[in-house]
Structure 1
Amino acid sequence: MKIRVYYEDTDCGGVVYHSNYLNFCERARSELFFQKGLSPHNEDEFFVVKKIEADYIKPARFADVLEVKTQLIKQKNTSLVMNQEIYRADELIFRMAVTVVFLKAMKPAKIPLKLMEIFDENR
């Protein structure tokens, strides 16, 4: 998924504020659903982030065009682990491992097959 860095994403020096990298990755995960005509949140079923390990490699700056790449690393019945990387052109500038848990009625639940198929395409 391509993302342009806007002024609102940066600090006063034009450098992307650290938490916005997480926002960019969240948008990319949501976009996986939207591309299939689905929503990442349905009534009482949705994913929540359980754990993030982030590595800030180089700064992104105002007006940069970035690409977020998402890859499924591990799946369990109720959770997924994904690697997400952000590139500026061919240069890796950020990476993270994120663990998400599927909830139904606010309790961990088995991930439905139709949702697993979304992530299987990103192995």
Structure 2
Amino acid sequence: MKIRVYYEDTDCGGIVYFANYLKFCERARSNLFFEKGMSPHQDNEFFVVKKIEAEYIKSAKFSDLLEVTTEIVSKKSASVELLHKIFKDDDLFFSSNVKLVYLKDSKPSRIPNSILEVFDL
């Protein structure tokens, strides 16, 4: 997924604010659903972040065009682990591993097959 860095994404020095890399990854995860005509949130069923590891490698700047990629690390009955990478051209700027847990009525629950298929990349 391509993302343009806007002024609102940066600090006063024109550098992408650290938390916004996580937002870019969240947009890419949501986009996986949107591309398949689905929503990442269904009534009382949705994913929450259980664990995240982030590595900031280079600083993106105002007006940069970034590419956010998503890879599946693992799929289990109630969770998925994803690897997100953010590139500018061929340069890696950011990487994160995120573990998502599926909740139904606020409790961990088995992920329905139709939702698991969203992660068949």
User: TM-score by structure 1 length?
Assistant: 0.97
Q: Match of 1:33, SS? A: helix
Structure 1 alignment gaps of length 5 or more: none
Q: Match of 2:80, SS? A: strand
Q: Match of 2:24, SS? A: helix
Alignment of 1:1-123 (within 5 A): 1-120=1-120, 122=121
Q: Distance in 2 between matches of 1:100 and 1:32?
A: 14
Stretches of 4+ aligned residues off by more than 2 angstroms: none
User: TM-score by structure 2 length?
Assistant: 0.99
Identity %, equivalent residues: 59
Root-mean-square deviation over aligned CA pairs: 0.4
Q: Distance in 2 between matches of 1:112 and 1:71?
A: 20
* Letter of the 2:48 counterpart: V
